[in-house]
């Protein structure tokens, strides 16, 4: 499910980015830079930058993608450039709630006028994981963003990566604590089923995405 959610999230982030064809894009909390390393191949005219406060993560990103632009920074304190698009993919759940509002406002300050801010987070339907402080429904995440970013409007908000019969069968037969069996054609079918059933029902979504546009 993690691999499916990761692949699905990459596709959806790419779709949202393409809506504005950004000339500059910053991925906040980029970790090892995998998202930029993957999507930059499909965004040849976009100047991509990854930011993370973890020096080890940025060191790994630079090792994996020596040509990439990766920076160690804390967006809540450091003075940074602004971008046509900013993403925070599976990051907000790692921020302690008492610092959540400041983090969201700091994300907003990185976005140029008419630029995009795109977040994905685990849905509340998904069990809590290590180093996660909270999960969100689509409505809850949208409310937090609207409260802290008055200069933005929401243009997309939906759940994805839903529970369905195929995932139940796959998990029951092919993914156990003893073995993990990969079948390429089945993985493709799983991915296509998810893409063909967007948005996911709120009661079944395992992740949620919100895309905002800065209006002022």
> pLDDT by residue (tens digit) across 33-48?
999 999 999 999 999 9
3-state secondary structure the chain: CHHHHHHHHHHHHHHHHHCCCCCEEEEECCCCCHHHHHHHHHCCCCEEEEEECCHHHHHHHHHHCCCCCEEECCCCCCCCCCEEEEEEECCHHHCCHHHHHHHHHHHHHCEEEEEEEEEEEEECCCCCCCCCCCCECHHHHHHHHHHHCCCEEEEEEEEEEECCHHHHHHHHHHECCCCECCCHHHHHHHHHHHHCCCCECCCCEEEEEEEEEECC
Quote the CATH superfamily of domain 2-162+200-214.
Answer: Vaccinia Virus protein VP39 (3.40.50.150)
Asked whether residue 1 carries a pLDDT value surpassing 70, the answer given is: no
Residue pLDDT, tens place only, 174-194:
777 777 777 888 889 999 999
**What pLDDT does residue 2 have?**
60
């Amino acid at each position: 499910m993690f691999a499916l959610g990761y692949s699905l999230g990459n596709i959806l982030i790419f779709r949202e980015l393409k809506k504005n064809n950004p000339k500059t894009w910053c991925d906040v909390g980029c970790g090892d830079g995998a998202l930029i390393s993957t999507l930059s191949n499909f965004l040849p005219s976009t100047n991509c930058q990854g930011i993370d406060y973890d020096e080890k993560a940025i060191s790994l990103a630079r090792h994996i993608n020596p040509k990439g632009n990766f920076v160690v920074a804390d967006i809540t304190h450091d003075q940074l450039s602004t971008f046509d698009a900013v993403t925070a993919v599976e990051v907000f759940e790692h921020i302690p709630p008492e610092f959540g509002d400041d983090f969201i406002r700091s994300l907003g300050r990185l976005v140029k006028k008419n630029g995009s801010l795109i977040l994905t987070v685990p849905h509340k339907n998904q069990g809590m994981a290590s180093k996660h402080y909270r999960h969100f429904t689509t409505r809850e995440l949208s409310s937090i963003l609207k409260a802290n970013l008055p200069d933005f409007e929401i243009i997309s908000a939906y759940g994805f990566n839903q529970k369905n019969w195929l995932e139940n069968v796959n998990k029951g037969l092919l993914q156990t604590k003893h073995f993990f069996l990969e079948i390429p054609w089945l993985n493709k079918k799983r991915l296509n089923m998810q893409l063909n059933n967007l948005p996911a029902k709120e009661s079944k979504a395992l992740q949620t995405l919100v895309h905002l546009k800065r209006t002022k």
